Chain A
Amino acid sequence: DSGVTQTPKHLITATGQRVTLRCSPRSGDLSVYWYQQSLDQGLQFLIQYYNGEERAKGNILERFSAQQFPDLHSELNLSSLELGDSALYFCASSVGSGIAKNIQYFGAGTRLSVL
C-alpha cells in the first residue's frame, strides 16, 4: 500500500458528462501529480500541484482541470467527456517539489469508461 488513496476505483459515464476524480496523498506529501494511461499507451503527465499551487502542466486538455485543497487532497475534473477520455487515471504524491530525488508514490488509479 503506497499510502495514496484514489476514489472511485471505477467510473462509468456517458459522453458529454462531467466527472470528478479524487486523490488523497500520503501523509506529509505536499506534491500531487495526475497521469493518464490510455489503452496501450504509457503514462502521460497531466498536471502537478505543490502545496495548493499549480506547479507544472503537461498534456492536459482544456476540458480537464484540477485543484489541490488546503488539506492537500486533489481533484481532477473531466468535463464534456468523449469516448477517447476512457483511460486509467493515476494520482501520485511526493514529499516536495523541485527535489531531484523526489520519488513519486502512486495510487491504485481510477478506471474511467466513457460510453
Chain B
Amino acid sequence: ILNVEQSPQSLHVQEGDSTNFTCSFPSSNFYALHWYRWETAKSPEALFVMTLNGDEKKKGRISATLNTKEGYSYLYIKGSQPEDSATYLCASRVDSNYQLIWGAGTKLIIKP
C-alpha cells in the first residue's frame, strides 16, 4: 500500500511568523511530487510540481524542497499572512499508475 503522510495535521501560527510542514512519500519508483493549496469553500489549486531530487520551487513567500532519496518534501511559508490560512495538500505519483496518491493535508491557521 502506497501512503503519503503529511505532518502536522494542523498548525496555528502567529501572523508574521514563518512556518514549515512535511510531506513524506514512498521513495521507490518516484515520478513527481505536487503541492496544492485548498482554501475553505474553494477548490484545490496547484502550487508546485517537482520531479528532481534537490528541486526547490518558490512562489512569493512560499517555497518547497524535494528529497526523493529519502522520500520527503518541505513546504515553507515566510512571514505568514492571514490569507495563507488554508489546507496544504501534497500528492505523489510513485509508480506507473497515472493517479496521484494524496496526503490528508496540513491545515494552517494564521492568528492575527
Interface residues of A (CB under 8 A from B): 2, 31, 33, 41-43, 45, 48, 50, 55-56, 58, 90, 92, 97-98, 100-109
Interface pair B43/A98, CB less than 8 Å apart: no
User: Could you tell me which residues of chain B, from 26 to 47, have a CB within 8 Å of some CB in chain A?
Assistant: 31-32, 34, 42-46
Interface pair B93/A100, CB less than 8 Å apart: yes
In whole angstroms, what is the CA distance A43 to B38 when docked? 11
Q: Which of A58, A100, A106 has the most CB of B within 10 A?
A: A100
The number of chain B residues with a CB under 8 A from chain A is: 21
Interface pair B105/A107, CB less than 8 Å apart: no
Known: A33-B99, A90-B43, A100-B93. 19 other contacts (CB 8 A): A2-B43, A42-B102, A42-B104, A45-B100, A55-B98, A56-B97, A56-B99, A90-B44, A92-B44, A98-B98, A100-B32, A103-B34, A104-B46, A104-B100, A105-B46, A106-B43, A106-B45, A108-B43, A109-B43
* Main secondary structure on A side of the interface with B: loop
- 23 A-B pairs (CB sep. < 8 Å): A2-B45, A42-B102, A43-B44, A43-B89, A45-B100, A45-B101, A48-B98, A50-B98, A56-B99, A58-B99, A90-B43, A90-B44, A97-B98, A98-B98, A100-B32, A100-B49, A100-B51, A100-B93, A101-B32, A102-B32, A104-B100, A106-B43, A109-B43
Interface residues of B (CB under 8 A from A): 31-32, 34, 42-46, 49, 51, 89, 93, 97-105
